[in-house]
Chain A
Amino acid sequence: MDLLMGFLFIVIIASAIAAVELKDLLAAALALGACGFFIGVVFFLMMAPDLAIVQFVVETLTLFVLVIAITRTHRRSARSEPVRIRAVLGVIVICIFLLFSFFVIPLMTEFGSPDQRVSQHYIDRGIEETGSENLVTSVLLDYRAYDTLGEIIVLFVSVLAVSLILREKPKGGG
Chain B
Amino acid sequence: MSLPYLASLALFSIGLYCILVKRDLFKVIYGICLMEFSINLFLVSLGFVTGGEVPISPTGTIVVDPLPQAMVLTAIVIEFATTVFLISVAIRLFKQYEDTDISKMRRLRG
Question: Which positions in A face B, CB cutoff 8 Å?
Answer: 2, 5-6, 9, 12-13, 16-17, 19-20, 25, 28-29, 32, 35-36, 39, 42-43, 46-51, 54-55, 58, 61-62, 65-66, 69-70, 72-74, 77-81, 85-86, 89-90, 93-94, 96-97, 100-101, 105-106, 108-114, 116, 118-119, 122-123, 126-127, 133-136, 138-140, 144, 147-148, 150-151, 154-155, 157-159, 161-162, 165-166
Contacts and interface: CB of A to CB of B under 8 A. Distances in A.
A147 B77 CA distance: 12
Interface residues of B, number: 77
A127 B57 contact: yes
Interface in B13-62: 13-18, 20-27, 30-31, 33-34, 37, 40-41, 44-50, 52-58
Contacts of A47: 48, 52-55, 64
B81 A20 contact: no
B103 to A, nearest CB: 8
User: B10, B53, B73, B89: which has the most chain A beta carbons within 10 Å?
Assistant: B73
Contacts of A154: 78, 81-82
Q: Interface SS of chain B: helix, strand, loop or mixed?
A: helix
B38 to A, nearest CB: 9
B71 to A, nearest CB: 7
Given A28-B27, A151-B77, 13 more contacts: A16-B15, A51-B72, A77-B22, A77-B27, A77-B100, A78-B100, A97-B9, A101-B9, A105-B2, A114-B49, A118-B67, A122-B66, A135-B58
